[in-house]
C-alpha cells in the first residue's frame, strides 16, 4: 500500500515528467473509478494544461488551472507514461492523451483507486480533503496537538495513530517505526501516555517520515512507484518486517504481534509496557 512518502515520491516523479503538458483527450475504461459524470469529467480535462502536481495526505492533486484533479491510489494504483501507440494493459483504467504524443496511464490491479474534480476556490473546505487531519511533517503538529487528538480515545496507541482523522498519512510501516523511535509499546492506551510521550511521538513521526521521503519511500511487497522508481527506506527499518532480527538499539529480538488485526513489530526491551 503506498503511504505518504511513496505518494510524495510519485508526485515528484510525475512533476518532472508532466509539468506544463496539455491533455488533449481522456479515455475511461473503468467508469466506477470516476466519482462524477464521465462526460463532465472528460470535458473538464480536455484542452487543459497540467501546471503542477501537488499532494495533500495521500491524494495527488493535478493542477489544471481552475480545478484540481484529485487522484487517490488506494491499494495498488500506479501511473505510467507510455507512447500513444503502446498496447493497453488490461489494468490501465484511465488514459490521458498528451499533446506531445505520450500518454499518462492509471494502472490499478485492485480497482480501488478514485479520481474526482474539485474547484480550486473551495477544495480545502469540502470532502475529501476537508476531512483529513494534519500530517506529521506539518510544523504545527506537536505534542499538544497529538495529546488533544488522543484525549477521547481508549484505543491502543498503534491503532489510534493509524486513524487518518488523528494524523494524516501515517500508515502501518511508519507507525511501527515511530513507536520504536519513541520507545512506546504499541498496546499502550492512546489517552494514558505521559505528557512528554506525546511530544516524543510528534518528533519521531516527523523524523521517520522526513527520512522516508528523503529516501523515496519504501519498496515493500508489490509496491514500486510509477516508472519503476524504487524507494530505499526499507533498508532503514528498525522494527517493521524485522521479526527475529536483533534490535539495532539494544540487541533484543524483535517480536511480531497483532494489534486490532494489524501486524505490528516492536522491541520488547526498548518498548517495554
| Residues belonging to the active site | 2-3, 58, 262
Closest to Zn ion by CB, 144 vs 246, is 246
Distance CA 59, CA 115 (A): 9
Is residue 193 a contact partner of residue 158, using CB atoms and an 8 Å limit? Answer: no
Closest to Zn ion by CB, 86 vs 253, is 253
The H-or-E segment that residue 18 falls in is: helix 4-18
Longest dimension (CA), the chain: 60
Nearest distance from residue 250's CB to Zn ion, in Å?
3
Q: Which residues pair with 96 in a beta bridge?
A: 26, 104
Residue 267: other Cβ atoms inside 10 A: 25
Q: Is 87 buried (19+), middle (13-18) or exposed (0-12) by CB count in 10 A? A: exposed
Cell 491510489, residue?
73
Nearest distance from residue 258's CB to Zn ion, in Å?
20
Closest to Zn ion by CB, 162 vs 270, is 270
User: In the structure grid, which three cell numbers stand for residue 107, read together?
Assistant: 494502472
Q: Which DSSP string do the residues of 58-110 spell out, in sequence order? A: TEEEEE-SSEEEEEE-TTT-EEEEEETTSPPPTTEEEEEEETTSEEEEEE-SS
Task: Give me the residues that bind Zn ion (CB under 5 A), please.
Answer: 247, 249-250, 252, 267, 269-270
Closest to Zn ion by CB, 18 vs 270, is 270
Closest to Zn ion by CB, 14 vs 267, is 267
Nearest distance from residue 237's CB to Zn ion, in Å?
13
Residue 34: other Cβ atoms inside 10 A: 19
Nearest distance from residue 255's CB to Zn ion, in Å?
10
Nearest distance from residue 27's CB to Zn ion, in Å?
52
Amino acid at each position: 500500500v503506498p503511504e505518504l512518502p511513496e505518494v510524495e515520491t510519485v508526485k515528484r516523479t510525475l512533476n518532472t515528467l508532466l509539468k506544463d503538458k496539455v491533455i488533449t483527450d481522456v479515455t475511461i475504461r473503468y467508469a466506477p473509478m470516476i466519482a462524477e459524470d464521465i462526460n463532465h469529467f472528460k470535458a473538464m480535462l480536455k484542452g487543459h494544461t497540467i501546471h503542477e502536481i501537488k499532494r495533500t495526505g495521500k491524494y495527488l492533486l493535478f493542477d489544471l488551472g481552475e480545478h484540481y484533479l484529485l487522484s487517490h491510489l488506494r491499494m495498488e494504483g500506479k501511473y505510467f507514461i507510455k507512447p500513444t501507440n503502446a498496447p493497453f494493459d488490461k489494468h490501465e483504467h484511465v488514459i490521458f492523451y498528451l499533446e506531445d504524443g505520450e500518454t499518462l496511464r492509471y494502472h490499478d490491479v485492485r480497482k480501488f483507486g478514485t479520481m474526482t474534480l474539485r474547484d480550486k476556490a473551495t477544495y480545502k473546505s469540502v470532502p475529501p480533503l476537508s476531512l483529513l487531519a494534519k500530517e506529521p511533517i506539518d510544523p504545527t503538529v506537536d505534542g499538544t496537538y497529538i495529546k488533544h487528538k488522543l484525549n477521547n480515545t481508549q484505543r491502543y496507541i498503534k491503532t489510534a495513530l493509524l486513524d487518518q482523522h488523528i494524523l494524516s498519512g501515517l500508515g502501518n510501516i511508519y507507525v511501527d517505526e515511530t513507536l520504536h523511535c519513541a520507545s512506546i509499546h504499541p498496546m499502550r492506551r492512546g489517552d494514558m501516555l505521559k505528557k512528554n510521550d506525546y511530544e516524543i511521538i510528534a518528533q519521531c513521526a516527523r523524523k521517520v517520515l522526513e527520512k522516508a521521503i528523503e529516501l523515496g519511500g519504501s519498496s515493500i511487497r508489490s509496491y514500486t512507484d510509477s516508472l519503476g522508481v524504487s524507494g530505499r527506506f526499507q533498508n532503514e527499518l528498525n522494527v517493521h518486517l524485522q521479526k527475529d532480527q536483533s534490535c539495532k538499539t539494544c540487541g533484543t529480538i524483535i517480536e511480531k504481534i497483532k494489534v486490532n488485526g494489524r501486524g505490528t513489530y516492536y522491541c520488547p526491551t526498548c518498548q517495554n509496557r
